[in-house]
Amino acid sequence: MAAEFDLINQYFRFSSTEQTSTLLDVETGVGDDAAVLNIGDSRFVVATDTLVEGVHFPVAMEPRYVASRAFGVNLSDFAAMGVRPKWLTLSLCVPAYNETWLAEFSYELEQLCSQYSLALVGGDTVRGNLCIGFTVMGTSDNGCLLRSGAQAEDDVWVSGYLGNAAAALALLQNTAHTDWPLTPSERRVLLDAFYKPKPRIELGLSLQKIATSAIDISDGLLADAGHVAKRSSVGLAVNSSDIPVAQSLMRYPEKKRISDWVMRGGDDYELLFTAPKHQRKNINQLSKQLGINLSRIGYVFSGEGILLDGAVASEQQLAGYTHF
């Protein structure tokens, strides 16, 4: 998203003082993927995300994809925290009472709740421009993966293939090159990356005892690597040739655009995580076990900022890509 909207969050950090946090049982507040609250002996985890038509997804997108995209984006925060989501509330803002739209949206949401064993426990529906806000909640007795745990010498890993969702959006917006050879199934895979981002819940849970930090890639690979670097007070180095990119994307006629999609595209909701070198074998085993591609794309160093192929990443590279 536009960088100015990150600035906005600066206005809402007033409860982040140590005093308030201790007093009110807040373990992790504004700034990580989710907030962690202490309730008795349990940790309660809560994350909220709102998607706006025309900002986070194209106007007139099919309702079932509005549901699946909003669901995936929201659960992804829990994947990054290594916590199993259990409940959600929905704030649905719709311009009109359209039964077909509502039936398709709610049917898809019901399927997804069932698939991920989530209960929709509340919410409200109001009239206005289409926007979908979920608040996802769960508990964790095993702690949480944070952005702040990366250590110098750790490896940097990502799941899946990057850039697919950004490329899909170019297809949806008719801004993709017409000379791009894509089979129908390749096209489908790309579109699904945008329509139905898969929250990497099982991966996140498995990484609890393996990774030192994690984040979901929403702003863009380099931007999100930057978030981990900043919160962990370290630097992250990324080798572009190690970044996993789908074959179909590699055939796109303009190399510069591929690079933008992969490095700055965001929207893939894959996990970026750091782990000690001695975990490589475990991570490769985990990849096989879950059937998810896991790629080692760099390393953590003492210092700050992001190195891309040995060069300091520019502000522009770190800024992410504005789709709308």
When binding is defined by CB under 8 A, the residue of 58, 61, 116, 120 that contacts a copy of itself is 120
41 binds a copy of itself (CB under 8 A): yes
Among 60, 62, 129, 302, binds a copy of itself (CB under 8 A): 129
Binding to a copy of itself by residue 86, rule CB under 8 A?
yes
Alpha helices in the chain (DSSP H): 4-8, 18-23, 63-81, 99-115, 164-172, 184-195, 201-207, 221-232, 247-250, 255-264, 280-290, 315-318
Q: Give the Cα separation of 208 and 65 in Å (integer).
A: 30
The site that binds a copy of itself (CB under 8 A) totals a number of residues, namely 72
Token reading at 44: 């309660």
CA atoms within 13 A on the CB side of 133: 13
148 in contact with a copy of itself (CB under 8 A): no
Closer residue to a copy of itself, CB minimum distance, 34 or 271? 34
CB 64 within 8 A of CB 54: no
At which residue do the structure tokens 């529906």 appear? 125
> Residues 176 to 195: which contact a copy of itself by CB under 8 A?
none
Q: What number of residues does the chain have?
A: 324
> Nearest approach, Cβ of 137 to a copy of itself (angstroms)?
7
Does 5 contact a copy of itself by CB under 8 A?
yes
2 touching a copy of itself, by CB under 8 A? yes
Least distance in angstroms from the C-beta of 104 to a copy of itself: 10
171 near a copy of itself, rule: CB under 8 A = no
| Interaction between residue 40 and a copy of itself (CB under 8 A) | yes
Residues 199-258 that bind a copy of itself (CB under 8 A): none
Q: Is 62 in the site for a copy of itself (CB under 8 A)?
A: no
Among 58, 87, 231, 282, binds a copy of itself (CB under 8 A): 87
3-state secondary structure 261-308: HHHHCCCCCCEEEEECHHHHHHHHHHHHHHCCCEEEEEEEECCCEEEE
Span of 52-60, 160-168, 184-192, 248-256 interacting with a copy of itself by CB under 8 A: 52-60
Cβ nearer to a copy of itself, comparing 46 with 171:
46
Using CB under 8 A, pick the residue from 105, 195, 252, 321 that binds a copy of itself.
105
Establish if 109 lies at the interface with a copy of itself (CB under 8 A). Answer: yes
Measured from the CB of residue 221, what is the shortest distance to a copy of itself in angstroms?
Answer: 20
139, with CB counted inside 10 A (0-12, 13-18, 19+), is middle
What are the beta bridge partners of residue 38?
43
Min separation Cβ 68 and a copy of itself, Å:
16
Q: Tell me which residue has tokens 């949401």.
A: 109
Nearest-angstrom CA–CA distance, 215 and 236: 13
How much is the CA Rg of the chain, to the nearest whole Å? 19
| C-beta of 15 vs 151, nearer to a copy of itself | 15
Report 11-30 residues binding a copy of itself (CB under 8 A). 11-12, 14-15, 20-21, 23-26, 29-30
